[in-house]
C-alpha cells in the first residue's frame, strides 16, 4: 500500500510537471517537430490529461495557461500548426502581451483599492 501511494505521488508529480510544460509554446513546437502529435497514443494521453482542468487538480498549477494549451491540443489542426516555428513564436508573443496587460490591469486595480481604503480611513476619522 505504501508503494502504491509512492507510485501515485510520483505519477501526480510527473503529470503535473508535464502539463505545466505545455504552457511553453517552444516545447510544443519541439514535440510537434519530433512527431509526437502524430502518435495516437500520445494524443490519447493529452485527452486523458484533461482531468487537470478540475478544480481539485488545477489548484496545483503554477502556469494556468497550460490548461488552455491542453485544450487546444485536443484539435488536430492546432497540433499540425505547431510544427511551424512561427506559430510557436506567435503564441509566445501573445502570452507575453497577455501577461503585460494583466500585470498593468492588476496594478491599476491594486492602486484604486489602496486609494479607496485611504479615503475610507480618512473619512472615518
Among 114, 111, 92, 109, smallest CA distance to 24 is for 92
The verdict on pTM exceeding 0.75 is no
Maximum mean pLDDT: which of 34-38, 104-108, 114-118: 34-38
3-state secondary structure 8-71: HHHHHHHHHHHHHHCCCHHHHHHHHHCCHHHCHHHHHHHHHHHHHHCHHHHCCCCCCHHHHHHH
What share of the chain has pLDDT > 90, as a percent? Answer: 58
Among 33, 18, 29, smallest CA distance to 63 is for 18
pLDDT (tens digit per residue) in 93-109: 777 666 766 667 778 88
Q: Residue 53: is its pLDDT beyond 70? A: yes
Give the CATH fold of the 1-124 domain: Arc Repressor Mutant, subunit A (1.10.10)
At residue 114 the predicted structure's pLDDT band, cuts being 50, 70 and 90, is: confident
Amino acid at each position: 500500500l505504501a508503494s502504491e501511494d509512492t507510485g501515485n505521488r510520483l505519477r501526480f508529480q510527473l503529470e503535473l510537471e508535464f502539463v505545466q510544460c505545455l504552457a511553453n509554446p517552444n516545447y510544443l513546437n519541439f514535440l510537434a517537430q519530433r512527431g509526437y502529435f502524430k502518435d495516437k497514443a500520445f494524443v490519447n494521453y493529452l485527452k486523458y490529461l484533461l482531468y487537470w482542468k478540475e478544480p481539485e487538480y488545477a489548484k496545483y498549477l503554477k502556469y494556468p495557461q497550460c490548461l488552455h494549451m491542453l485544450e487546444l491540443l485536443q484539435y488536430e489542426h492546432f497540433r499540425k500548426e505547431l510544427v511551424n516555428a512561427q506559430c510557436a513564436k506567435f503564441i509566445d508573443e501573445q502570452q507575453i502581451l497577455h501577461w503585460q496587460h494583466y500585470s498593468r490591469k492588476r496594478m491599476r486595480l491594486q492602486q484604486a483599492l489602496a486609494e479607496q481604503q485611504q479615503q475610507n480611513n480618512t473619512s472615518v476619522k
